[in-house]
Amino acid sequence: MAKKRYPDLRQIVLLVVLAAFLTVPLFGELFYTRLFTRIMIYAIVALSLDLILGYGGMVSFGHAAFFGLGAYTVGILAQHGVQTAFVAWPAAIVGSALVAVVIGAISLRTSGVYFIMITLAFAQMLYYFFFSLEEYGGSDGMPLVSRNTVAGLIDPGDHNSFYYLVLVIMLLTLLVSRRMVQSRFGMVIQGVRENERRMRALGFATFRYKLVCFVISAAIAGFAGALIANQTLYISPAFMHWTRSGDILVMVILGGLGSLFGPMLGALFLLLAEEVLAGFTEHWMILLGPLLIIVVVFARRGIYGLLAGAKDVD
């Protein structure tokens, strides 16, 4: 593991992808700029789910709830005249985190399948809550009149500026998350995933560690939600639907659990595959379904695991 002289396939792919992302707006095709902005936002969500799923072993089937909460925070604040990102985005982060404290404190009492289902239940509650919240669009959703302002520093209304803003946020999130999983906190979380009873016996308050991890993950998802509201300029309960949580899970598992970068690749792959397959046939899902099953059955560590080759599979 330790003595690698040459960059391995993963590092090469990472650099190529990064370079590609840096150059997308230079082609001047609005369609691609918007597509890749969306991909980066979903990459952030996938990464946030990987923190609890890949590192903490907590299979949340309701992650889209926090994504949607972030989006609704921005939308509701905008409707009440708050346009600046310096208020709206922190509010989205804090709002998602606070809700996650409540949901996490109850859900983390259970484990395994019960945890999957209780997170799903909470996400459904929030979905129906916003679905019937007529003041803010109800089932139709609500439009966002314009993107949040960043105190005149840059113009997010310009697609290229917004693209690079999202890119910087994505890279910062990745860096901070990497530091976090390598820190003492991250080690404890991974220890809990491997054997919670042993960690408790070592004297760690495992419940608190798991809850903090859950809340951090939700906060990042909320941030991504704020970004997607700015990207689509439209907020609807569909952001919180359970199939959206399923999509995010697919990205993480497809990309490779517990690698941070893998789930981001998963988001890239899934959304690109949608675009490409949709170009061939309107019934592209009939191709995507079996493709996913093949990945699950034959590539157990996801795309990232494939890139690593056999040597790192333990």
What is the longest distance spanned by two Cα atoms in the chain?
Answer: 60
- The nearer residue to another protein, 29 or 275, going by C-beta atoms, is 275
Check if the beta carbon of residue 251 is closer than 8 Å to that of residue 42: yes
CB 258 to another protein: min, Å: 11
Residues 80-109 that bind another protein (CB under 8 A): 106, 109
Helix axes of 206-232 and 64-79: crossing angle, nearest 10 degrees: 50
Question: Binder to another protein among 79, 111, 161, 190 (CB under 8 A)?
Answer: 111
Q: Which of 51, 192, 253, 271 binds another protein (CB under 8 A)?
A: 253
CA atoms within 13 A of residue 20's CA, in its CB half-sphere: 13
Query: Residue 110: left if φ>0, alpha if ψ -120 to 50, beta else—which one?
Result: beta
Whole-number minimum distance, CB 47 to another protein, in Å? Answer: 17
Task: Report the C-alpha gap between 61 and 44 in whole angstroms.
Answer: 17
- The residue (of 1 and 135) whose beta carbon lies closer to another protein is 135
Q: Which of residues 14-73 bind another protein (CB under 8 A)?
A: 53, 59, 61
- Among the listed residues 299, 304, 200, 212, the one whose alpha carbon sits nearest the alpha carbon of residue 258: 304
Q: Give the binding-site size for another protein (rule: CB under 8 A).
A: 44
181 binds another protein (CB under 8 A): no
The closest of 246, 223, 267 to 69, measured between CA atoms, is 223
Task: Compute the least distance from the CB of residue 106 to another protein, in Å.
Answer: 6
- φ/ψ of 25, rounded to 5, equals -65, -20
Residues 274-293 that bind another protein (CB under 8 A): 283-286, 288-293
Smallest separation, CB 248 to another protein (Å): 11
**What DSSP designation does 149 have?**
B
Instruction: Point out which residues pair with 24 in neighbouring strands.
Output: none
Residue selected from 69, 97, 165, 257 as contacting another protein according to rule CB under 8 A:
257
Contact pattern for another protein over residues 112 through 131, marking x by CB under 8 A: xxx-xxx-xxx-xx--xx-x
Report the DSSP pairing between strands 234-235 and 142-143: antiparallel
Minimum distance of another protein from residue 137's CB (angstroms) = 13
Q: Figure out which of the listed residues 12, 16, 18, 296 binds another protein, where binding follows CB under 8 A.
A: 296
Contact 69, 124 (CB under 8 A): no
To the nearest whole angstrom, how small is the minimum distance from the Cβ of residue 228 to another protein? Answer: 21
Sequence-distant (6+) residues with CB within 8 A of 242 are 61, 62, 64, 120, 123, 124, 127
Name the minimum Å distance from CB 9 to another protein. Answer: 24
Shortest separation between residue 301's beta carbon and another protein, angstroms:
11
φ/ψ of 84, rounded to 5, equals -75, 135
Task: Find, among 259, 209, 248, 249, the residue nearest to 225 by Cα.
Answer: 248
Site string (212-251) toward another protein, x via CB under 8 A: ------------------------------xx--x--xx-
Binding residues for another protein, rule: CB under 8 A, are 53, 59, 61, 106, 109-114, 116-118, 120-122, 124-125, 128-129, 131-133, 242-243, 246, 249-250, 253-254, 257, 283-286, 288-293, 296-297, 300
